[in-house]
Amino acid sequence: MNQTKTVLIITLFVVLCGLVLSFSTFAGEKSLIMATTTSTEETGLLDYLAPYFTRDTGIELKWVATGSGKALMLGQNCDVDVLLVHAPDAEKEYVAKGYGINRREIMYNDFVIIGPVADLAGIHGKSVKESLEAIKSKKGIFVSRGDNSGTHIKEISLWQQLNLFVPDKESWYIQAGQGMLATIAIAAERGGYTLADRGTYIKYEDNMAGRPPLKILVQGDPDLINQYSVIIVNPARCLNAKTDLAMKFSEWMAGNSAQKRIQDFTLIGKQLFFPNAK
């Protein structure tokens, strides 16, 4: 009798272990890992969207927030399944080299140049070219992301497009090597200027209870458009990538429900991102 009970207990234990293992495997299969830019996390957009994505698809979304350049590298190294980034030229090169597939534009906002109210370089209301020339001429403190992020890549391209050398050897040019909110904080502390995405600036404005020490001084230039796209890691290179789940994420982000939620995402009454899925 005791031997029979022992056999039954062992059998039950094995069955339960099998069920737990099966559940864990299932849960792992329904989990998607994404590399994304800091702006989508720091603004709270991903925390806002992720529960809806899980509710609609049954897929758990996990992410690593870093600069777009590093996010692309994570995809290249097969460390993630999908990307949400904002460095269009680098993204197109990434896809052309076979690291990613199905690049899809999802949303946009714009970049702005922010600085102190005193505006010692006198850039308020000027064009991007005039502003950067004035900052360089007057040696105004400029804080760069300096982290190969989408914002940093855009800033470098602006200096280059204007036939201005990137002043990375100048004492007034500070490379933060940090995310957008941290970079803005350094600029505020130093009374300097920086290039920021509007979404993160609005988050900063919200953090400052609507009274930020740094204000938007330059905006509205066509060169300042900030496009965000989803890219799926190429399964031909990354054999363990969860391509089917990544496809579902891309389709969901481009769908009417997610696009409406992106449109409705606001802070202090201001819209941070604008849906434009194609």
pLDDT in tens, 134-148: 999 999 999 999 999
**DSSP label of 176:** -
> Is 110-224 the same fold as 8-109+227-275?
yes
SS3 for 163? coil
More confident residue, 186 or 15: 186
Q: How many CA atoms lie within 13 A of 219 on its CB side?
A: 13
User: Where exactly are the structural domains of the chain?
Assistant: 8-109+227-275, 110-224
Residue written as tokens 């201005």?
164
pLDDT, average across residues 209-217: 96
Which pLDDT score is estimated for 177?
A: 96
Query: Identity (one letter) of the amino acid at 196?
Result: A
Alpha-helix residue ranges (DSSP H) falling in the chain: 2-29, 38-42, 45-57, 68-76, 88-96, 128-137, 150-161, 180-190, 198-207, 243-254, 256-264
Protein fold of 8-109+227-275: D-Maltodextrin-Binding Protein; domain 2 (3.40.190)
pLDDT in tens, 36-67: 999 999 999 999 999 999 999 999 999 999 99
> Binning pLDDT at 50, 70 and 90, where does residue 7 land?
very low
Q: Which residue has the tokens 């529960």?
A: 51
Averaged pLDDT of the chain: 91
Q: d(Cα 214, Cα 204) in Å, to the nearest integer? A: 9
pLDDT tens for residues 260-274? 999 999 999 999 999
- pLDDT band for position 163 (cuts 50, 70, 90): confident
Model confidence pLDDT, tens digit, residues 62-119: 999 999 999 999 999 999 999 999 999 999 999 999 999 999 999 999 999 999 999 9
CATH topology of domain 110-224: D-Maltodextrin-Binding Protein; domain 2 (3.40.190)
3-state secondary structure 71-95: HHHHHHCCCCCEEEECCHHHHHHHH
Is it the case that residue 2 has pLDDT exceeding 90? no
Q: Is 16 helix (H, G, I), strand (E, B) or coil?
A: helix
Q: What gap in Å lies between CA 70 and CA 82, rounded to an integer?
A: 13
Is-contact 36 91, C-beta < 8 A?
A: no
In this predicted structure, what is the pLDDT of residue 184? Answer: 98
pLDDT at 20: 37
**β-pair type (225-233, 100-116):** antiparallel
List, in sequence order, every residue forming a beta bridge with 49; answer none if it has no partner: none
Report field, pTM of the whole predicted structure over 0.85: yes
Sequence-distant (6+) residues with CB within 8 A of 31 are: 59, 60, 62, 242, 245
Residue 43, judged by CB atoms within 10 A of its CB (0-12, 13-18, 19+), counts as buried
Q: How far apart are CA 243 and CA 39, in angstroms?
A: 24
pLDDT at 239: 97
Between 2 and 239, name the one with better pLDDT: 239
Give pLDDT, residue 29: 65
Strands 194-197 and 100-116: antiparallel
- Could you give phi then psi for residue 122, rounded to 5 degrees? 65, 45
pLDDT given at position 162:
81
Other beta carbons less than 10 A from residue 27's beta carbon: 10
